[in-house]
Amino acid sequence: MRYLLDINLIIALMDPDHVFHQRAHDWWGEGGKPWASCPLTENGFIRITASAAYSQGKTATVLEMASRHSAFAKNSDHQFWADDFSITDPSLFDHALTLSSKHLTDLYLLEMATRNGGCLVTFDRNIPGNAVLSAGAGSLLVL
């Protein structure tokens, strides 16, 4: 099984000051797990961790955070998954089951994991997984 790491999980793995850093590493284990990223997770990780609001005085540049993500990927069992589908596609998503617009990114990532035979791993307990029509029982892991 390959795991698509949600943005919050990538941040927690790489930031020792993150509130869920230990929980992330307890799941990750000693040698790590086969994992994947996609344009959305890479962009989100870099955007959040390079922002002044996140760093609270420890300013990191986009280049530093992109390099950090690349090094993490290179030194682990990583695959990059390209995206080629739309959140507006009613054959993929049941928009009537989408509880809020704040779930759109999570549902997009769940579809990404499902179409690649993987599992989305997140700390978010409120993802309406049934809104992703292809998602099965093993498609979502909440830590």
Q: Is the pLDDT score of 99 beyond 80?
A: no
Give tens-digit pLDDT for 40-84. Answer: 999 999 999 999 888 777 778 999 999 999 999 999 999 999 999
The overall longest dimension of the chain from CA atoms, in Å, is 45
Domain spans of the chain? 3-142
Architecture (CATH level 2) of domain 3-142: 3-Layer(aba) Sandwich (3.40)
Tell me how far CA of residue 8 lies from CA of 4, 85, 95, 134, in angstroms: 11, 22, 24, 23
Instruction: Centre a 10 Å sphere on the Cβ of residue 122 and count the other Cβ atoms it contains.
Output: 20
CA distance 112 to 81: 8
Average pLDDT, integer, range 104-133 = 95
Q: What are phi and psi of 69, to 5 degrees?
A: -65, -45
CA within 13 Å, CB half, 14: 25
- pTM score, two decimals? 0.93
d(CA 45, CA 38): 11
